Amino acid sequence: MAPEPMVSIGFIAKRTGNAVSLIRYYANEGLIPSVRTSGGNRVFPRSVIRRVSFILIAQNMSYSLAQIKHLLSTLPDNRTPTQADWAKLSTVFNRHIEEKIAALTSLKTSLEGCIGCGCLSLERCRLYNTNDKVAARGSGAQLLDENVQSQFLVSHKK
């Protein structure tokens, strides 16, 4: 295989629409691979653009950087990821997306059933499978559990 062309940090920043400081931050955090020029500047394989874009998408899905780092660890650091590498990662990711869609769909149904109508009964309102396995933000945030959602949907019962 031909060696992949290396690009500067500014190039990555521009191509992904981010600040240079963010790319440097990700590099320091070990989220994206880089090597140094003889002068000490970082250079990146072009494929890092994909990696950064993946990070942004995953963040949008409420993954923490720690979780993303873990996800990305299935990609090789020492060579450019192949189609197969990305496909493997994609499979895991896809399952998370599906779970998230299912959770939202369930939440929507519950809201419609419980708030939209005049329903006041716990029996009809109780959620079954609304847990969101994906979202979780480090310290403060908790996963919503069934308990919480039930209370939201049922608390009008005196």
Partner DNA sequence: GCTTGATCTAAAGTTAACTTTAGATATTAA
Partner DNA sequence: TTAATATCTAAAGTTAACTTTAGATCAAGC
Check binding of 122 to a copy of itself (CB under 8 A).
Answer: no
Amino acid (one-letter) located at 84? A
Check binding of 100 to a copy of itself (CB under 8 A).
Answer: yes
Dist CA 84 CA 90 (whole Å): 10
Contact status, residue 109 vs residue 133, Cβ threshold 8 Å: no
Among 6, 15, 24, 100, binds DNA (CB under 7 A): 24
Our CB check for a copy of itself shows the closer of 2 and 40 to be: 2
Given a copy of itself, DNA, none, residue 126, with its beta carbon under 5 to 8 Å by kind, binds none
Dist CA 112 CA 28 (whole Å): 46
Our CB check for DNA shows the closer of 83 and 142 to be: 142
Our CB check for a copy of itself shows the closer of 8 and 18 to be: 18
Please tell me whether residue 35 adopts helix, strand or coil conformation: strand
